[in-house]
Amino acid sequence: MNERREDDGVSGLREDRRAAEVVRNEAEHFRRLAEEAREQLLAQRIRLFEASVDDDLDRDGRAERHVLGSPHFPHRPAAERSYEAISPREYLPGSHSATEFVGWYNAHPDFRHLTFDLQSETAAVVGNGNVAMDLARILASPQDVLAQTDIAAHALEELAERRIRDIHVLGRRGPAQAAFTNKELKELGELPGVDVIVDPQEVALDHLSAEWAARNPNRTRDRNLEILRGFAAREPAGAPVRIHLHFLVSPVELIGTERVEGLTIVHNELYESDDGSIRPRATDRRTTLPLGLVFRAIGYQGVPLPGIPFDAMRGVIPNDRGRITDPATGAPVEGEYVVGWIKRGPQGIIGTNKPDSQETVDMLLEDLHAGNLHKVEVPPRTVLERLLGERRRDFVSYEDWQLIDMLERERGEAQGAPRIKFSRVEEMLHALQERKRQAAEEAEAEAARAD
């Protein structure tokens, strides 16, 4: 997620002061906890599997990593694979997953090498959740607004040359079933130089959705509908960029041979399934959108970890309130826990993750106090460091991470941004070593003066 300045003067890309202060306070709180609790963490041999793992460590190696906490490795998320569901041509140039684009503009080293042709005047974002909203926001935001965030420097440079004028956001269900939250939706309407276009007929609830909404009160959904009706009532201001929000449409075919030239969508209708849920189904009506760029933001699917139970149907690690369970018996696996999307599936935001993680920690503490964690004593840190040395892996300590954090902030301060991120591991490690070398030389010089 992009870090946003509270004083940038643009409400659409601004955290309000109270929220920004909360984020800063929590970040400082986490730093203090990390510094105070490092040795206590070393005293526990409890494996806590989260949403990132290292490919080159075996199961026990992963366990040590999550226990020790201090070393950091190149890693990939365990819930990383995006769903692919458009057509056999979805790998044409111009068709990309949200994972790729988000990683690219957020300076993730695994995606630094990617390129995106942003010269098409029309783009589509397939999906109706917060990721889709964020992609539309990045594609539509004026350059001076993006420059005040911590977006990757290479992405900012490429986005400066974009020619995109129309962005179509495509949701397969109706507005009442959309997954985005109020803040992300509202921000689109506050972007300078952007018109948000919504067909009033598309936000008028059909009788099934109206009845379903009446039976299932939800403040977020109701506020979303209010915001969408407000967009629909606006007269376009003739802004240079337009975001079109569509509902009840699904992509069925990418058009093109050498690259994406268009996208065919089918119009859906809603029906009530046997279990009482409201679901979309295709009609005979189809429309083709001429465009050159498509982003697929239609969810993520968990991937298994060697030696860890996995529910392939749901794409999660089976668990009971965070305790990993054995699929054969349903019994908890002693000392192993899970949090995040790989625990519950790819849904929710930071506000969802906090109670989710709290639930897992509560289970862990309950087991600890009940004496259900019978683990051998953890070997000293030197054992892990020797293992890393044998495998010839560079790793970053907590103190090193603090230096990297400081370096990124220093780089950003010179350009009026919160930070400028390192997007290549080798660049980050080189800068780290240079700063440590300078610090050592300064310490030697200071010692010499003292003598």
Confidence at 381, pLDDT banded by 50, 70, 90:
confident
From the list 397, 386, 389, the residue with the least C-alpha distance to 70 is: 397
Q: Is residue 285 pLDDT above 90, yes or no?
A: yes
Q: How far is CA 169 from CA 99, 163, 358, in A?
A: 17, 17, 34
What pLDDT shows up at residue 2?
38
Q: Does pLDDT of 269 surpass 90?
A: yes
Using DSSP, state whether 357 is helix, strand or coil. Answer: helix
Q: What is the mean pLDDT of residues 294-316?
A: 87
pLDDT of 90 strictly over 80: no
Output the pLDDT for position 245.
Answer: 98
- Give the pLDDT confidence score for residue 301 in this predicted structure: 77
Rounded to the nearest integer, the mean pLDDT of the chain is 82
pLDDT higher for 140 or 28? Answer: 140
Give the least confident one: 71-80, 95-104, 312-321, 410-419.
Answer: 71-80
Over the stretch 162-219, which tens digit does the pLDDT of each residue have? 999 999 999 999 999 998 999 999 999 999 999 999 999 999 999 999 999 999 999 9
Tell me which of 82-96, 178-192, 426-440 is least confident.
82-96
Strands 166-170 and 300-301: unpaired
Sheet of 249-255, strands arranged across: 249-255, 262-272, 278-290
Shortest CA distance to 241 belongs to which of 289, 193, 197, 198?
193
- Please state, in angstroms and rounded to a whole number, the distance separating the CA atoms of residues 326 and 310: 9
Confidence of residue 65 (pLDDT cuts 50, 70, 90): very low
The separation between the first and the last C-alpha atoms of the chain, rounded to the nearest angstrom, is 49
Question: In this predicted model, which residue has the larger pLDDT, 301 or 127?
Answer: 127
What was the pLDDT predicted at 288? 97
Q: Does 416 have pLDDT greater than 50?
A: yes
Beta strands in 291-349 (DSSP E): 293-296, 300-301, 319-320, 323-325, 332-338
pLDDT band at 66 (very low <50, low <70, confident <90, very high): very low
197 vs 371, more confident: 197
Asked if pLDDT for residue 64 goes beyond 80, the answer is no
Q: Tell me the C-alpha distance between 173 and 278, whole Å.
A: 9
Q: What residues does each domain of the chain span?
A: 43-78+318-378, 81-300, 398-450
Torsion of the alpha carbons at 282, 287, 289 and 294, rounded to the nearest 10: 10
Q: Which of 332-336, 392-396, 447-451 has the lowest mean pLDDT?
A: 392-396
The reported pLDDT for the residue numbered 184 is: 92
Rg over CA atoms, the chain: 24
* Residues forming beta bridges with residue 68, ordered by sequence position: none
**Cα 394 to Cα 344: distance, rounded to the nearest angstrom:** 32
Domain 81-300 indexed as CATH 3.50.50.60: yes
The whole-number pLDDT of residue 383 equals 81
What's the pLDDT score for residue 449? 87
User: Residue 82 above 60 pLDDT?
Assistant: no
Q: Is the distance from CB of 165 to CB of 241 less than 8 angstroms?
A: yes
Q: How confident is the model at residue 311 (pLDDT cuts 50, 70, 90)?
A: very high
User: What 3-state DSSP class applies to 361?
Assistant: helix
Quick one: average pLDDT of 62-83? 36
Q: In this predicted structure, what is the pLDDT of residue 108?
A: 95
CB contact set of 101 (below 8 Å; sequence gap of 6+): 116, 135, 138, 295
% pLDDT > 90, the chain: 57
What is the pLDDT confidence band of residue 33, given thresholds at 50, 70 and 90?
low
Going by pLDDT thresholds of 50, 70 and 90, the confidence category of residue 27 is low
SS3 state at 336: strand
- Cα 392 to Cα 109, 129, 386, 395, 399, distances in angstroms: 19, 41, 10, 9, 20
Query: Who has greater pLDDT, 446 or 8?
Result: 446
CB under 8 Å to 416, separation ≥6 — which residues?
147, 148
